Structure 1
């Protein structure tokens, strides 16, 4: 796959996962009050749904990983999740910083978008190096 195609696909999948993440957060915050507990649960739920979606998309359409079976998926998803810890801290830090600075939904989401954008760039490089062994997408 050419570099422009890879970048376009990765960005598209990042957008999809971001929309899933933010939609999940909105759903949680529609049900719970936007206090510390509601905000924390929204962050966790959004992160979980975005993570699962992005793993599936990256595994199949970015890294073309053909491994199968619960052991392989468990190992790779575990590594993928560990690599996501640093990038999640970037995301949460930006979103929380924007929330604390402005205390508005719009600015919270701007912070989330900025944090997710930075985090996805870092995550791609970590996943490419440490998680997925099939490198056909990088020839």
Structure 2
């Protein structure tokens, strides 16, 4: 349940960051820039929460923390592509910001479920 709560927190951070970006910078490629900034914000929050509370993983050095974050981000590439495709597709199909964010929530939900298993097997392990 804690993982689900943190996924919700990271989703809110992601969407809030997207909305701020979208509002402040209205231009042709706004959706791409806002999805990217939202992803970065959600990634940072989710990494810190997962590392400390879900996997209770303590790094012994800054190098290990950077390496762990690298693998965490790498596992997120696949799930992020899924999330971006879903959000962008909903934006194209429905042409409303509300449905765009519905697509984002669906994509993020599928991605976070997948990412949990990838992180458990490949990221938060002793190297």
Unaligned runs of 5+ in 2: none
One of 86, 94, 105 as aligned partner of 1:94:
86
- In structure 2, distance between residues paired with 1:41 and 1:67: 32
Q: Secondary structure at the match of 2:60?
A: coil
- Which consecutive segments of 4 or more residues in structure 1 shift more than 6 A? none
- In structure 2, distance between residues paired with 1:113 and 1:16: 12
**1:38 is aligned to 2:27:** no
User: Which deviates more from structure 2 when the two are superposed, residues 45-54 or residues 25-34?
Assistant: 25-34
1:121-136 alignment, distance < 5 Å: 121-133=113-125
Unaligned runs of 5+ in 1: 1-7, 135-139
Partner of 2:19: 26
Q: Normalization by structure 1: what TM-score? A: 0.88
Partner of 1:76: 68
What RMSD in Å do the two structures reach over aligned CA positions?
A: 1.0
- In structure 2, distance between residues paired with 1:42 and 1:61: 28
Shift of 1:66: 1.3
Q: Normalization by structure 2: what TM-score? A: 0.96
Higher RCO, 1 vs 2 (CA within 8 Å, ≥6 residues apart): 1
**1:15 is aligned to 2:8:** yes
